[in-house]
Amino acid sequence: MPSPMRFLALASVFLSVSAVVPPGKQGALNQPVDDTPAPTPDNDAIADTAGQVNQKSAVPVTAVPSDNVPATTVTALDGDLVNATVASVVDSSSRRRKRQSSQPGEYIEVFYPLAPGVHDASIEGTAYLTYTVVNNATYNVKDCLAFCDKVDGCEFVNLYYEFNNELLDFVFSEKSNLKCAAYGDIHTAAEKTNFGGQAGWAAKDLTDPPTPEGFSLVFGPTGGANNAPGYMGFAFLDRYDPEACAVLCNGRGYDPVGGVCQYFNIWRAVVDGVPTTYTCSMYYLVADNSTAVNFGQGDLVVTLSRGYARNSVVIDGGFEGFTECDDFCFATSYTNWVGTSQAGGDEDATIFFFNQYAHTGHGSGLLGAAFGDDSDSGTLTPAQPLKTEAGRNYVVQVFVNNAFSNAQLEAPAVVNVLWNGKVVGSVKGFQQYTPEQFNVVGTGYDVLAFEGGAAPAWSFIDDVFVALL
C-alpha cells in the first residue's frame, strides 16, 4: 500500500485532473494568453539620433579611382553611433543581386558649373559610393554617366576638376584631374561644400531597388514610415540599401516575446531638404501601408519609405485557413494541416478555431487528445512538403503553449520538432506561448512535423514560420 503522504499526493493529482475541462469541451486555459500590446517605434529616439549622425562624405583626396563599391556601413544601431559593416553587426553574409542599371540617356542635369574663374565646390553628401577620372581633354559628361551605369546603386554623379593633386597629376595611370564621383542618392547644389567647374547629373527617376532574397515588397515608396506593433529596433545605413536591411533583419537577435524579425521598413530621412541618413526599422510582426503614418517630425521628413515582409515556406503557419465555424470548433485536418493519432488514439492532434487558444488570430494546433480520453501523443504536419532550396540554412520558429492545465499537470509536457523525420529540438515543461527557434538545412522537399501532447499535459502550437537565414 502507498504511504499516507503518497496517497494524498495521488489524490491531489486525481482531483486536479478531474477538475480540468478538456479543450474539446471548450475548457478554459489555466493561464490566459498574454495580450500585452506589442512595442511600437521610438520615433523620438530615431529623430534624435538622426540629429547626431553625420554621413556626408566626398571623394577622399588619396583614393584610387575604382568602380568597386565598398560594403554598406551601419552608422547607428538602436540609438548608439557606430561605424561597422553590416556583416560584422550580424556576423553574417548575404548573396547580393546587382540592381538594374539606368540606361544611357536617363539622366538630368541638376546643377551646372559656375562661370570660369568663380571658386566652386564639389558635393559632400550621403551615400558616396566610389569615383573614377575621365579624359580631361573635354568636359566628358558621357563617360561619367556611363560610369554611373555600371556602378551598383549609382543614382547621381558629380563631375568636377580637382587641381594641385599630385596623385592625379603624376601617380595614377589615368593622368586626369577630371573626377566623376558616384553617389547612391540625388544631391543638389546646396550640398556643394567641398571647395576645391562642378556639374551634377542625376538619374531621371530613382531606380527601384531589387527586392532582397527571401523577402516580398509590401508597400512603397511612400512618404510615411511604419508606426506599427512588434518593433525590435533600428539601424542607420550609409546608403539606401534594402538588401543590407534584410541582412540586419535576418541576423537580428530573437525577441523573447515576438521571436525572429519578420519585417523591415527602410526609409530616407531628409533634414532641411538635405538627405541625412537611411533608417532600417525591424519588426517581429508584419506591417503594411495602413500603419505608415509617421511622416516625420520637426525638420525631419520621411521619404522613400518601403516595407518588406520575410517569406515563410510554410503555408498558413497560423492555422488561419481553418474557418469551419465562426466561434468554436475543431477538426483533425483541413486544406493546409494534417493531424494524426497513434494506433488506438482518438483526436490526438487537432486544429482549433477559437481565439482564446490562439497566439494570434483565431487558429491554433493542439497536441494531445482533444477530449482527454487517452494520454497518447499526436502529430501535426503541413499538408504539403516545404519547398526549400537544397543546401540552404533555414530557421524554424514555432510558438508553444504548455499552460492549458496547471504547472503540475503540464510538467511532463513535451513538443518535439521533426525535420524529415528527425528530431531537431524539443520544448518541455510548463510555459505560456513562447517563440522557439531551431536551425535546419533544406533539401528542396522537406517534411516538418510537431509531435507531442499527452492529456492532461496538452500543448498548443501557433504561428509556425520557416525562413531563410
pTM, whole model, 2 decimals?
0.84
Rounded CA-CA distance 19/267 in Å is 54
Is 339 a domain residue? yes
Same domain membership, residue 322 and residue 299: no
Domain ranges, residue 83: 49-55+73-87+217-310
Same domain membership, residue 277 and residue 388: no
Could you give the count of Cα atoms lying within 13 Å of 339 in the half-sphere of its Cβ?
Answer: 29
Same domain membership, residue 447 and residue 336: yes
Task: Please choose, from the candidates 167, 404, 111, 395, the residue with its C-alpha nearest in 3D space to the C-alpha of residue 261.
Answer: 395
Residues 6+ apart with CB under 8 A from 214: 246, 250, 310, 311, 467, 468
Is 208 a domain residue? no
Q: Which three cell numbers stand for residue 299?
A: 525638420
Other Cβ atoms within 10 Å of 171 Cβ, number? 11
Is 421 a domain residue? yes
Element (H, E) at 244: helix 242-251
Given 174, 203, 232, which residue is the final one in a domain?
Answer: 203
Q: Which three cell numbers stand for residue 64?
A: 584610387
Given 260, 279, 310, which residue is the final one in a domain?
Answer: 310
Is 97 a domain residue? no
pLDDT in tens, the chain (469 residues): 455 554 434 344 443 556 799 999 999 998 777 778 889 999 999 999 998 998 887 787 777 887 788 889 999 999 999 888 898 887 643 444 444 444 444 777 765 555 455 445 566 778 888 888 888 776 778 888 888 888 888 888 888 877 777 677 656 766 777 888 888 888 777 665 555 445 555 565 667 899 999 999 999 999 999 999 999 999 999 999 999 999 999 999 999 999 999 999 999 999 988 889 999 999 999 999 999 999 999 899 999 999 999 999 999 999 999 999 999 999 999 999 999 999 888 899 999 999 999 999 999 999 999 999 999 999 999 999 999 999 999 999 999 999 999 999 999 999 999 999 999 999 999 999 999 999 999 999 999 999 999 999 999 999 999 999 9
Same domain membership, residue 446 and residue 329: yes
Is 100 a domain residue? no
Same domain membership, residue 322 and residue 252: no
Is 10 a domain residue? no
Same domain membership, residue 224 and residue 182: no
Tally of structural domains, the chain: 3
Same domain membership, residue 418 and residue 386: yes
Is residue 130 within 8 A of residue 151, CB to CB? The reply is yes
Is 131 a domain residue? yes
Same domain membership, residue 181 and residue 82: no
Is 178 a domain residue? yes
Same domain membership, residue 129 and residue 197: yes
Distance of alpha carbon 287 from its chain centroid, rounded? Answer: 11
Same domain membership, residue 394 and residue 263: no
User: Domain with 119 in it: what CATH number?
Assistant: 3.50.4
The 378-382 sheet, strands edge to edge: 337-341, 378-382, 448-452, 414-419, 422-428
User: Domain with 462 in it: what CATH number?
Assistant: 2.60.120.260
Given 149, 174, 203, which residue is the final one in a domain?
Answer: 203
Same domain membership, residue 224 and residue 151: no
Same domain membership, residue 132 and residue 83: no
